[in-house]
Amino acid sequence: MVRSCRDFSQALAQYVFRSFALGRLRTLPDCLAVSVILDPEDVAALHLETFQLSNDPLLVDKVRDIVGLYLNPPHHAIVLCVDEKSQIQALSRTQPILPMLPGQVERRTHDYQRHGTTSRFAALDIATGSVIGKCWPHHRAVEFRKFLARIDRAVPADLAVHLVLDNYATHKTKEIRKWFLHHPRYTLHFTPTHSSWLNQVERWFALLSQRQIKRGSHYSVRELQAAISEFIAVHNLQPKPFVWTKSADAILSSIGRFASRTLAVHSSNNM
């Protein structure tokens, strides 16, 4: 059984040289080349990452707009990053989770039972790090309008409100557009397509998953919702905002370099 990248590299190198001895490979340099490429310090077996370049024609304008909000927030206004985490599963492990001990990581069974799903709406205040949240069974325009009303009650009436949103269809329905027309203090800032990483609330959702949802065992949707609400309550006792450091120019330059490398790879493959 291959237990590590080093074991994998050594096993494959042995196979290559054995194949050469049996005449399956033609030249020894081919074997040596494989050995160099599969240096034990560099091999990452079955390592894979995904990516998605934005094709939004307003990419540059939207990046500058949102990053400008983060680095230079407007006066007498609040900036909220809003999104929903849908289909959160209430999962219970088939056996009790064994807690972390000195010298031993937390352990849990690989199998689980499903008990339903819920959707969590959240609005992150970029200035304070506090979160407004609410769970609903669905994440339709009806629920989003209710969440907007919840935000409206929580934010002081004398403040302008800037919302950072993604391009999910729920955020742009006729019902939602009508709601915003009746609430003129709101200004919307949409992220480019395939660029949810630009919305700070996504980072907070990652914390929610890492520290609460994945670490727990929930036997009902109600229990899951209670655990999420408790996480938000504890978080809001001592909230800490995320510190945005990259400028819009730095982000756009990074995207440009990655796009150039991607085009170069495709061009060489098509030759």
Q: Quick one: pLDDT at residue 79?
A: 97
Report the alpha-carbon distance of residue 135 to residue 140 in Å, rounded.
Answer: 12
Q: How many CA atoms lie within 13 A of 145 on its CB side?
A: 15
Q: Quick one: pLDDT at residue 221?
A: 92
In the chain, DSSP assigns E strands to 77-93, 112-125, 131-136, 160-165, 186-190
Report the alpha-carbon distance of residue 122 to residue 158 in Å, rounded.
Answer: 22
Name the token pair of 200.
Answer: 């700070």
Report the alpha-carbon distance of residue 71 to residue 196 in Å, rounded.
Answer: 18
Q: In Å, how far are 151, 161, 185, 248 from 157, measured between CA atoms?
A: 11, 10, 9, 31
Q: Quick one: pLDDT at residue 1?
A: 44
User: pLDDT (tens digit, 0 to 9) for every residue of the chain, 271 residues total?
Assistant: 445 555 655 666 666 656 655 665 555 555 555 555 555 555 555 566 776 778 888 999 999 999 999 999 999 999 999 999 988 989 888 787 777 888 888 787 777 888 899 999 999 999 999 999 999 998 899 999 999 999 999 999 999 999 999 988 889 999 999 999 999 999 999 999 988 899 999 999 999 998 888 878 888 999 999 999 999 999 999 999 999 999 999 999 998 888 888 777 777 666 6
